[in-house]
C-alpha cells in the first residue's frame, strides 16, 4: 500500500478540493481520549491528523498548545505510549497521521529505532520543528531508510533563496507557517498569503498546507482558495481543554470541527 498522505492528496487534487488537517496533542486529556478523538475527527471530515508528541519545552507552540503538552505529560504520555496509541488507532481508522515533534524526544528514543517503530505503528510522516535541512545533510542519523514522509516548515521570514533548499528535501507536503511567532488563533488571514504560497509552489510539486492561527470556516475558505490544505490546531486544542472532563468530549469536538472541515471542500478554484 502506498503512503496514506500521498493517496489522500492525490484523491483531493483530482476533485480540486483542499485537505483539512487537524492538530491535537497526543495524550490530552488522555491517550484513551486521543484514541477515540482521531477516528471521530476523520468522521467529521478531517483528511489528515497531526499528533503532537508531548515535549516539556515546545518553543514553537503558543500557550494553548504548551498547556496541552503539559497536560499530556502529566497524564502519563510518553513516546512509547504515543506510538502504542497510534497502533490502536489503526484498528479503527486509516486517516493519515503525522507526528508533530521536536528533535529531543527522538534523540532520547534513538533516531533509527524511532523511525522504525513509528513506521511500524502506522505513522505516515514526521514534522520535526527544530531540524533545519543543514543538520540533515551533516548528520548520518537522518539518512535512515524509511517510508515516513519528511514534512518541512517554511515561514513568512524564510528567504526565497532558502525555500528551494527546504522544499528539495521534503516529502508528503510543505507546511507553510502563515504567521510569524508561535501557534495560536488569529482574527484574520495574512495579506501576503497568496503571494507567499505562489513563491513556494514555484519550487515544488508537493502539496502546500497552510497553518498557524486559522480557526473559523471563513478563514478556512480564504486559505483553501490558494493552498492544498488548511491546518487547524489551537482552536481544536482549546476546545479539548474546555471540554476534556466532559463525557461527551468526542461528540462536542466533532460538532465543532465538522463545519470547519466542510469549508475546505466548498472552494474549488484554488491556484
- Alpha carbon 181 to its chain centroid, in Å, reads 17
Among this protein's residues, is 246 annotated catalytic? no
Catalytic residue among 6, 35, 47, 50: 50
Torsion sign, CA atoms 16, 188, 206, 270 = positive
How many CB atoms are located within 10 Å of the residue 18 CB? 30
Q: How many residues does the chain have?
A: 271
Among this protein's residues, is 117 annotated catalytic? no
CB environment 86-111: b (16+ within 10 A), e (fewer): bebbeeebebbbbbbbbeebbeebeb
Pair type for strands 48-52 and 19-25: parallel
- Alpha carbon 258 to its chain centroid, in Å, reads 17
Catalytic residue among 6, 61, 117, 228: 61
Helix or strand holding residue 269 (H, E): none
Q: Hey, what's the cell of 257? A: 470541527
Report the C-alpha gap between 225 and 218 in whole angstroms: 11
Active site residues per annotation: 50, 61
Amino acid at each position: 500500500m502506498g503512503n496514506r498522505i500521498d493517496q489522500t492528496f492525490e484523491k483531493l487534487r483530482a476533485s480540486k478540493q483542499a485537505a483539512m488537517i487537524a492538530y491535537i496533542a497526543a495524550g490530552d486529556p488522555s491517550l484513551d481520549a486521543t484514541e477515540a478523538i482521531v477516528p471521530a475527527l476523520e468522521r467529521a471530515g478531517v483528511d489528515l491528523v497531526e499528533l503532537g508528541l508531548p515535549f516539556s519545552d515546545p518553543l514553537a507552540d503558543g500557550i494553548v498548545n504548551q498547556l496541552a503538552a503539559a497536560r499530556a505529560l502529566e497524564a502519563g504520555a510518553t513516546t512509547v505510549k504515543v506510538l502504542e496509541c497510534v497502533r490502536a488507532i489503526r484498528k479503527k481508522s486509516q486517516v493519515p497521521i503525522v507526528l508533530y515533534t521536536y528533535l529531543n524526544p527522538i534523540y532520547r528514543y534513538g533516531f533509527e529505532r524511532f523511525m522504525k517503530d513509528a513506521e511500524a505503528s502506522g505513522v505516515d510522516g514526521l514534522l520535526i520543528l527544530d531540524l533545519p535541512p543543514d543538520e540533515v545533510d551533516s548528520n548520518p542519523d537522518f539518512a535512515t531508510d524509511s517510508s515516513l514522509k519528511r514534512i518541512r516548515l517554511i515561514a513568512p521570514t524564510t528567504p526565497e533563496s532558502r525555500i528551494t533548499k527546504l522544499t528539495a528535501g521534503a516529502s508528503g507536503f510543505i507546511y507553510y507557517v502563515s504567521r510569524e511567532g508561535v501557534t495560536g488563533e488569529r482574527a484574520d488571514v495574512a495579506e501576503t498569503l497568496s503571494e507567499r504560497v505562489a513563491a513556494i509552489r514555484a519550487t515544488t510539486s508537493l502539496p502546500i498546507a497552510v497553518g498557524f492561527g486559522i480557526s473559523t470556516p471563513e478563514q478556512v475558505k480564504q486559505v483553501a482558495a490558494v493552498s492544498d490544505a488548511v491546518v487547524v490546531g489551537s482552536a481544536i486544542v482549546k476546545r479539548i481543554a474546555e471540554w476534556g472532563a466532559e463525557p461527551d468530549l468526542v461528540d462536542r469536538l466533532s460538532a465543532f470541527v465538522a463545519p470547519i472541515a466542510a469549508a475546505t471542500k466548498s472552494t474549488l478554484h484554488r491556484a
